[in-house]
Amino acid sequence: QVQLVESGGGLVQPGGSLRLSCTASGSISRFYVMAWYRQVPGKQRELVATITNSGWTNYADSVKGRFTTSRDNAKNTMYLQMNSLKPEDTAVYYCNTNQAVLQWGQGTQVTVSS
């Protein structure tokens, strides 16, 4: 079973940027669509962005134009570049496939606050 480890979160002021990474213990190239999710306590996990092996991306309306995802299959890693962060982006961020077939990692906390 592929293990996922998210990193790169932290505390940032509104308008700031962060780059999250998701490193898998095995190959992610066999998963055509990978995804980023986020979750706020007491709420359901939200799909934030997806990316195919071909590099096609899709984003939730709430992050469109501010977030960019990419993947490096050779490194078994995917990334989420987050710009113009807002307080409402505060959440724990996770990666998985778009069908969430892999075991969830521990996530990485992103806090946007002044």
Q: Percent helix, strand, coil in the chain (nearest 5)?
A: 5, 50, 45
pLDDT value of residue 92: 98
pLDDT in tens, 20-42: 999 999 999 999 999 999 999 99
pLDDT in tens, 43-85: 999 999 999 999 999 999 999 999 999 999 999 999 999 999 9
* Beta strands per DSSP E along the chain: 4-7, 10-12, 18-24, 33-39, 46-52, 57-59, 67-72, 77-82, 91-97, 108-112
The confidence band for 1, taking pLDDT boundaries of 50, 70 and 90, is confident
- For residue 99, give the 3-state DSSP assignment: coil
Q: From edge to edge, which strands make up the β-sheet containing 91-97? A: 10-12, 108-112, 91-97, 33-39, 46-52, 57-59
CB 54 within 8 A of CB 28: no
CA dist., res. 25 & res. 76, Å (int): 7
